[in-house]
Every structure is written in C-alpha cells, then in structure tokens.
Amino acid sequence: MTEASDLTGAYALNALSPEEREAVEARAAQSEATRNELTELQDTANVLALATDPVTPSADLRARLMAQIAVTPQLAPLETPAEHELAPAGPVPAEYLSPTELKTQSRWFSRPALALVSAAAAVVVLVGGGVILSGVLTPENNAPIVADKLTQIRTADDAQQAVAPVAGGGTATLVWSGELASAALLADDLPELPAHQVYELWYINEGVARPAGTFTVDSTGDVQQVLDGDMKAGDMVGVTIEPLGGSETPTTDPIVGIQA
C-alpha cells in the first residue's frame, strides 16, 4: 500500500481519490513536516502554472472540437439533491466557541442556530503558510488570476492561515494578509447547490456583515475563492447559502466562520 507521505505531490495537484486525500490530510494533521511539504509543493504548482504563457487555440482545432461535440452523445443531467438535503447541520456547541465568537453570534443573528467555528476551535493556525490547501478552481474563476492572488497572500510577510470544519461536512481554510488587506477561502467537499442558490462570503466585525463575493462548486465540492473588498483588523470570515445573485445581508445561518 502506498504511504500517505508518498502522495503529497499528487495531493498538491489534486490528483488523488477521496480516500487517498483523507489519508494525506490525516498525516498532515499529525506532522508539521508534511504540512510544510504540502505548502511548498502547492506554491511550486502555482508558480509553474503562472510561468507558462497562455496559448490561443487555432481556428482548425476549434472547428474540429466543435464538430466532435456535435456528434458526441450527451449524458442525462444528474439529479439535483432536494433542497432540504442541503440545509446546514446544527450549530456548533457553545463550549467549542470562544467568548468573542459567542458575542458575535448573539449580535449577527437573533436565531440560535449559528454554526461558527473560529481559529480558537480550528484544526490548526499557522503563520507563514503551513497548512493544507485544495487545488481545484471553480469554472467561473479565472484560474491564473486566482492563483496569482493566492500566491501573493500566502507569500506575504504576515501571511496566516486557519482551518475549520464546515457544518454538514468538509473543511475550509482561510488564508489572509493584514498588509495586503486581502483574504482567500479554500474549501473541499461542499455540497453542490441548486441553480437558484449560491454560497456567499462575508466579512463580519462587531456584529456587522459585509458582502465579500459569491461562488458555486461543482460535483467535486472544491473551491478556491479570493474575497472581494478589503479585509479589516479583527474581521471574521463566514459563508452562508443565499439566493442566486447573493444578498446584501445574510439570510441563512453560516455553515462556517473563521476568525482572522
């Protein structure tokens, strides 16, 4: 059987099965050396991706591709999960929240079902970039631009990262730099939403939530998303499920929250 420590390169390229990824992440959770190795490999992958000039396909290639699409049978669409199946799981118990989070919880929503997990309850917080990151970009993102911004954040002198579980399954990693006033969220195993819903990011401070962009995921459930707007000192980053187009203020309980 292949050891998890031998799969770090494939993990950095998102080329593992779910079982293999879990094995690598379990190994990384116990080994600082493995976390550092994953970070270095993913930084290298980002640099290599940006080092190659984009190539414009020829008109002949496009014509042949479109002709092939025209004669290729299309599979039936996958069934969309029932909307109630995508509801976030119950709240994180209060004993796992810090006093700051409890205060934010009471201010942000009047309902008690807020599921926020901060750095105090995160799996790990590291300075300088030593934590697991997923490598898949959503189709609507421009991959080189996102990779470039992510590299800028992670290589900043004050770069920090924190990991937290997502209500309902999966994990989320927040990467941020105070000097750049910028942050990015990386998540895996998120449920694919119906067409009328999106995930929305928020900066939360003193009970006020500021919209920071929306995103969707495909069947892999993986995403890398740079937050819109400037990050301020003391901000918490949260994710909610909102109607298509996003909302001005949160309309649902967050599925994850990470204190920066």
- Return per-residue pLDDT of the chain as tens, 260 residues: 567 777 888 888 878 888 888 888 888 888 888 888 888 887 787 777 666 666 676 777 777 777 777 667 666 665 554 544 444 444 444 444 455 444 444 444 433 333 344 333 333 333 333 333 333 334 444 566 777 888 899 899 999 999 999 988 888 999 999 999 999 999 988 999 999 999 999 999 988 999 999 999 888 888 889 999 999 988 999 999 999 999 999 999 999 999 98
Tokens 């109630």 appear where?
Answer: 84
Question: Where do runs of H (alpha helix) occur along the chain?
Answer: 8-12, 18-30, 32-51, 59-71, 99-108, 143-154
Specify the pLDDT at position 248: 94
- CB count within 10 Å of CB 227 equals 25
Specify the pLDDT at position 18: 84
Annotate 135-154 with b (16+ C-beta within 10 A) or e (fewer): bebbeeeeeeebbbbbbebb
Q: Per residue in 29-63, pLDDT tens?
A: 888 888 888 888 877 877 776 666 666 767 777 77
Residue 76 CB contacts under 8 Å (≥ 6 apart), including other chains:
none
All structural domains of the chain with their residue ranges: 4-51, 84-259
Tokens 């030593």 appear where?
Answer: 130
pTM of the model: 0.50
